[in-house]
Amino acid sequence: MVIDLSVIEGDYFRDLLEQPKALQDTLQHFEESTELKSLVARLHKGKFTTVVLTGMGSSFHALHTLLLPLTELGIPTMLVETSELIYYGNRLFRPDSLVVAMSQSGQSAEIIRLLEVNRKRAPIIAVTNTADSPLARRSAATVLTYAGQEFSVSCKTYIAGLVALKFLADQLCRLSIARTKKELQPVLGPAAEYLAGWKEHVQAMLPMLQGIRQLFLVGRGYSLATAGTGALILKESTQFPSEGLSSAAFRHGPFEMVSPETFVLVFGGGSKTEKLNRRLFEDIQKHCGKGAYVHHDQPSPFRVPKVAASLLPMLEILPVQILTLALAAMVGRQPGQFRFASKITSTE
């Protein structure tokens, strides 16, 4: 299949290739602030009865990677979209709640409303790419990412945000920065290597996508972050019908959509549920569905290195990003060009 790939090499494409630098730059700036240290101490003294994680879009999905370690530690934690929290979760804004708010810009419409509704009742930990944003300025502590300016669809800010959430999770679980940096090192090289081979990956995906009319992205555990964000960026960057959900939820109804026109990307994920995910993929194949399995034992372009489950979302998102390039190349469109939206959502 001969397709001119030069059409996809725009600003969004350049942001994709800058992701290894965003990872490295964010990792280098990790530091334990006095403000964050104080909130961690209060958390472990039982001063907070609930941790509320909130964001919109890819920021919301990314927070799955913080929800799991806190829950495993026995800390009562909930994940709520900011748009719902500010109107239906008002009673959660109290001194014994610790809010973690994630926003790349730190100034989207919902985040501004959150700051107004909270009125500093609950301390907020901000996770943002914008140091001078309202969210960063009005939070009790801030974890910054260093992804730089981004053209449109979240890619380098998202992956840098996952690194920041890993740092925050370890801090809240009282693990050292040295340990966090050591654990993150295995991600840097593979991410750069994978993106360096983008052209070969796109060429390998093109035949798989012929005749496809819709995509599903499914997984469990930490991979829920990838499923949710992956479907979102596919819709944003290519306007292609896509849905992200849990592997179990896919069996509860959407499995009826399995056909040669449906492509299901299944994330193998961590060892706890990998067998369940693999069985789902095998069942999809038995019913003549198309798809791919993202796992360390798969061939390129759907192979990810064998790393800890908490690190997988940083690598699983890369094949999805390549999918956006392949789909755009098929129709001769530059991916990541917004028609109606803007980088910062300013209207609720």
pLDDT at 341 > cutoff 90: no
Count of structural domains within the chain: 2
Q: What's residue 95's pLDDT?
A: 98
3-class state of residue 73 by DSSP: coil
Let me know if residue 247 belongs to a domain: yes
171 and 22 within one domain: yes
Structure tokens at 2: 């001969």
Could you tell me the CA-to-CA distances from 127 to 80, 141, 168, 178, 219 in Å, in that order? 15, 9, 9, 20, 25
200 and 325 within one domain: yes
Question: Residue 135 in contact with residue 55, Cβ under 8 Å?
Answer: no
Structure tokens at 339: 């028609």
Q: Could you tell me the strand order of the sheet in which 97-102 lies?
A: 77-81, 50-55, 97-102, 124-128, 141-144
93 and 161 within one domain: yes
Domain with residue 32: its CATH number is 3.40.50.10490
- The full DSSP string for 218-278 is EE-TTHHHHHHHHHHHHHHHH---EEEEEHHHHHTTGGGG-STTEEEEEE--STTTHHHHH
151 and 180 within one domain: yes
Let me know if residue 327 belongs to a domain: yes
179 and 64 within one domain: yes
pLDDT at 81 > cutoff 90: yes
pTM for this entry: 0.97
Question: Residue 245 in contact with residue 218, Cβ under 8 Å?
Answer: yes
Print the domain residue range for 167: 15-186
266 and 182 within one domain: no
pLDDT at 313 > cutoff 70: yes
Average pLDDT, the chain: 97
Q: What's residue 1's pLDDT?
A: 59
Query: What pLDDT band is residue 36 in, cutting at 50, 70 and 90?
Result: very high
Question: Residue 114 in contact with residue 90, Cβ under 8 Å?
Answer: no
Cα–Cα distance, 174 to 166 (Å, whole number): 12
Q: What's residue 343's pLDDT?
A: 86
**144-197 pLDDT, tens per residue?**
999 999 999 999 999 999 999 999 999 999 999 999 999 999 999 999 999 999
160 and 19 within one domain: yes
Q: Residue 7, class by beta-carbon neighbours within 10 Å (0-12 exposed, 13-18 middle, 19+ buried)?
A: middle
Among the candidates 149, 169, 186, a domain finishes at 186
Let me know if residue 6 belongs to a domain: no
pLDDT at 2 > cutoff 70: no
Let me know if residue 25 belongs to a domain: yes
131: how many CB neighbours lie within 10 A of its CB? 13
Mean pLDDT of 103-110: 97
79 and 122 within one domain: yes
